[in-house]
Amino acid sequence: MRSGLLGIEHLDRAEIEAILDRAKAFQPAPNSQFQRLDTLRGQMVVNLFFEASTRTRTSFEIAAKRLGADAISITASGSSVSKGESLVDTLNTLAAMRPDAIVMRHAASGAPHFLARYLNTPIINAGDGTHEHPTQALLDARTILDRRPTLEGLRVAIIGDIQHSRVARSDMHLLSKFGAETVLCGPAALLPPELEKLAPNVSLTSDLREAIHGADVIMMLRVQLERQHEATFAAGEYFQFYGLRLDHIELAKPDVIVMHPGPINRGREISSEVADSQRSVILNQVENGIAVRMAVLERILRN
Amino acid sequence: MAKLAIRNGRVIDPATRLDAVRDVLIEDGKIAAIEASLDVTGAAEFDATGMIVAPGFIDMHVHLREPGFEYAENIETGSRCAAAGGFTSICCMPNTSPVNDSATVTRYVIERASRHAAVNVFPIGAITKGSQGEEMAEIGSMKQAGIVAISDDGRPVMNARVMRRAMETARSFGLPVIDHCEDLHLSAAGDMHEGVESVRLGLRGIPAASEDVMVARDILLAQLTGVRFHVAHISSRHSIEMVKFAKARGLAVSAEATPHHFSLADEEMPPYDSNYKMKPPLRGKCDVGAVTQGLASGVIEAIATDHAPHPGSEKMQEFEKCPFGIIGLETAIGLALERLVHSGVISLPRMVELFTLGPARILNLDRGRLAVDAVADITILDPERTWIYDVNRSFSKSRNTPFHGHSFRGGPVATIVDGSIAWSVE
């Protein structure tokens, strides 16, 4: 962790607990203005986004600034990457400017892992291809724990394009480490059977109702059309079979919460009624994103 | 009258089933005598006590990158790499630029090799023009110019009708057809073997089925056309089963395996290390076991490296952007000894056969045996010598190998081509 944060899979439980506890301290009190801290004064965080992102980039930027660090955001389209520079060269150039950490999103799975072998600067993975999105899993866990005493024994249904979801991978690793039961659900072509072997307490189904049955948490995923290289499912009938509607909610536990990493596509994977319902905690996830990223930045930069 | 006497080595020649301590005399590029004790004067002496003296090893599957990609390798560097790996003959694949799809390119490669190569170079011609999979290449003229087989390695012929016609043509010219069996639609955009590891790492998978369906297709077409059909770098257990089945039916079907496919499984790849990225990809543990067993049982008749140099700039990228392939000439014998012989899977004579008689038979090459009057291509190896592979001292222009720093027990000691020492260990 001292060297950065690349994924959830290889983090241990104590490390995750420490981040989640610390994040709680960074949650703003209701109706109060957030005070800017100076914990990381004089430190520099570079947000390097090779892939479109609004919430994650903004969230990291705000997290850094609230801790008193300087944050710079770079997007690929406006950088030397568009001039044909290799990823290693871009990162070496940035590292030579001595930032204290690089927050990176990239469309290629493993891009931050590959760079971490060559760079001394800590790298925080803000999503790599279809592999991991560790801070999303941490903020999801924080959001659940704001409403439940423990993750242990919870039944969490993750629904959508699992194959291409880095959120699903990070979430299932985290939930499994804490003894929650994860049910992954989606069209068969987007649900490789090997998923079951990635972590304990993971099961698969292509039946939405079965997945939701008795669930404590329902996590909906966006259909990632940009990552699909072929037509794996008829888009026209996606909502009919995998879209979350109000009548599904009745199958879950009465106090079920509905989550979504965003951006949501109303009417594609989730109905407006569900997205705007009392059960939805989608905006709490966004809020927790800042708190969790503050905890992560603090942990990495103070070492 | 250059003479070389190789003394007191354990001479293993699978062709004559010889396995005994012998002296070997080389005279004028030919083997002059193989006897228990030779009384010769005026010859250079090579003390092979404790070593294996074998027919020159043949690698039937390498990429020399010349013409066109000389920044990655050329005939000189690739062949020196071969010599340092104990190979006296190599067969180079046609995926150069231009593609070796005409007698002109074949003659160019042979001419360059005659001037610059440290070992014998036998070109393999393309099946289709530009290896585009559509129009037939000039197979007959290439045969006259010196190719020993045809293959669209790396860009397999997807159209079964074109493959059928190519097989018929190859048969009429007495050439084997070597196929890199991969259904490109099934493997499209894949980066590694499809399995738990690809799902874990979020990398797109190349299913074993993409190899299997093409092996099945080609076996059926080989039956239809009567051609000698050879499966390049076989890696999937189901494909091996099918080759076994084809052989049992008496078809002229054979297969080769690479050292990396009998040494490494997908789960052994350090995360996103492109030195472990090749085609076919490193498969699961079961497949590695099947390849190993196939080499032992005889279903797989040759070991070939698929030596595929790529410069560091191409391999130092995001995993999905990196090209497929690793260099392998210098580590092949070491890996075969370690994984197959020392581990007790096969005997030393069987290993020698897989590197000599096996490929020679498939390609109908007049090499791979030790006999009086035969060309003096000889590989001398020491099954016990310990050494560490330092890729930065490789003869290759490229550095893409997962075996850098690997400590080996056993390796080549000297490589004799046409009676001259092309390489010997320092």
Is A140 part of a structural domain of the chain? no
3-state helix, strand, coil in chain B (%, to 5): 35, 25, 40
Same domain, B44 and B81: no
Interface test with A, best of B200, B275, B313 (most A CBs within 10 A): B200
CB proximity A195 to B under 8 Å: yes
Closest to B58 (Cα-Cα) out of B337, B343, B347, B256: B256
Residue B134 confidence (pLDDT): 96
Cα-based distances in Å from B48 to A60, A226, A264, B159, B368? 67, 62, 73, 51, 19
Count other C-beta atoms under 10 Å from residue B122's C-beta.
Answer: 20
Cα diameter, chain B: 66
Question: What is the span of the domain harbouring residue B33?
Answer: 3-52+375-385+401-424
**The whole model's pTM is what?**
0.94
Same domain, B41 and B81: no
Is B101 annotated in the active site?
Answer: no
Angstroms from B186 CA to nearest CA on chain A: 11
Q: What is the Cα–Cα distance from B92 to B100, expressed in whole angstroms?
A: 10
Same domain, A96 and A195: no
Is B391 part of a structural domain of the chain? no
Could you read off the pLDDT tens digit of each residue along chain B, which spans 426 residues? 589 999 999 999 999 999 999 999 999 999 999 999 999 989 999 999 999 999 999 999 999 999 999 999 999 999 999 999 999 999 999 999 999 999 999 999 999 999 999 999 999 999 999 999 999 999 999 999 999 999 999 999 999 999 999 999 999 999 999 999 999 999 998 999 999 999 999 999 999 999 999 999 999 999 999 999 999 999 999 999 999 999 999 999 999 999 999 999 999 999 999 999 999 999 999 999 999 999 999 999 999 999 999 998 898 999 999 999 999 999 999 999 999 999 999 999 999 999 999 999 999 999 999 999 999 999 999 999 999 999 999 999 999 999 999 999 999 999 999 999 999 998
Is A142 part of a structural domain of the chain? no
Same domain, A272 and A154: yes
Same domain, B43 and B66: no
Same domain, B233 and B141: yes
Same domain, B293 and B416: no
Residue B310 confidence (pLDDT): 98
State whether A109 and B188 contact (CB < 8 Å): no
Phi, psi (degrees; rounded to nearest 5) at B169:
-65, -45
Is A12 part of a structural domain of the chain? yes
Tokens of B146: 């010196």
Closest to A5 (Cα-Cα) out of A101, A78, A85: A101
Same domain, B46 and B63: no
Same domain, A117 and A155: no
Number of domains in chain B: 2
Same domain, A165 and A238: yes
Q: What residue has token string 């770098």?
A: B233
Looking up residue A268, the CATH number of its domain turns out to be 3.40.50.1370
Same domain, B10 and B78: no
Give catalytic residues of A, as residue numbers: 55-56, 83, 105, 133
Chain A residues with CB under 8 Å of B321 CB are 108
CB proximity A129 to B under 8 Å: yes
Same domain, B18 and B158: no
Same domain, A268 and A291: no
Is B19 part of a structural domain of the chain? yes
Question: What is the span of the domain harbouring residue A99?
Answer: 4-132+286-301
Residue A186 confidence (pLDDT): 95
Is B353 part of a structural domain of the chain? yes
Angstroms from A273 CA to nearest CA on chain B: 33
Number of domains in chain A: 2
* Residues in A 65-124 with any Cβ partner in B closer than 8 A: 86-88, 106, 108-111, 113-114
Same domain, B115 and B127: yes
Same domain, B322 and B413: no
Count other C-beta atoms under 10 Å from residue B338's C-beta.
Answer: 19
Same domain, A215 and A254: yes
Looking up residue B379, the CATH number of its domain turns out to be 2.30.40.10
Contact B329, B355 (CB under 8 A): no
The rounded percent of chain A whose pLDDT value lies above 90 is: 77
Chain B residues with CB under 8 Å of A131 CB are 201-203
ipTM of the complex: 0.94
Same domain, B28 and B174: no
Residue A1 confidence (pLDDT): 41
DSSP chain A: -TTEE--STT--HHHHHHHHHHHHHHSPPTT-PPPPP-TTTT-EEEEEESS--SHHHHHHHHHHHHTT-EEEEEEGGGSGGGGT--HHHHHHHHHHT--SEEEEEESSTTHHHHHHTT--S-EEEEEETTTB-HHHHHHHHHHHHTTSS-STT-EEEEES--TT-HHHHHHHHHHHHTT-EEEEES-GGGS-GGGGGTSTTEEEES-HHHHHTT-SEEEE----GGG-SS--S-GGGHHHHH-B-HHHHTTS-TT-EEE--S---BTTTB-HHHHTSTTB-HHHHHHHHHHHHHHHHHHHHT-
Contact B136, B129 (CB under 8 A): yes
The segments of chain A whose pLDDT lies below 50 read 1-2
Is B112 part of a structural domain of the chain? yes
Looking up residue B63, the CATH number of its domain turns out to be 3.20.20.140
Same domain, B7 and B123: no
Is A204 part of a structural domain of the chain? yes
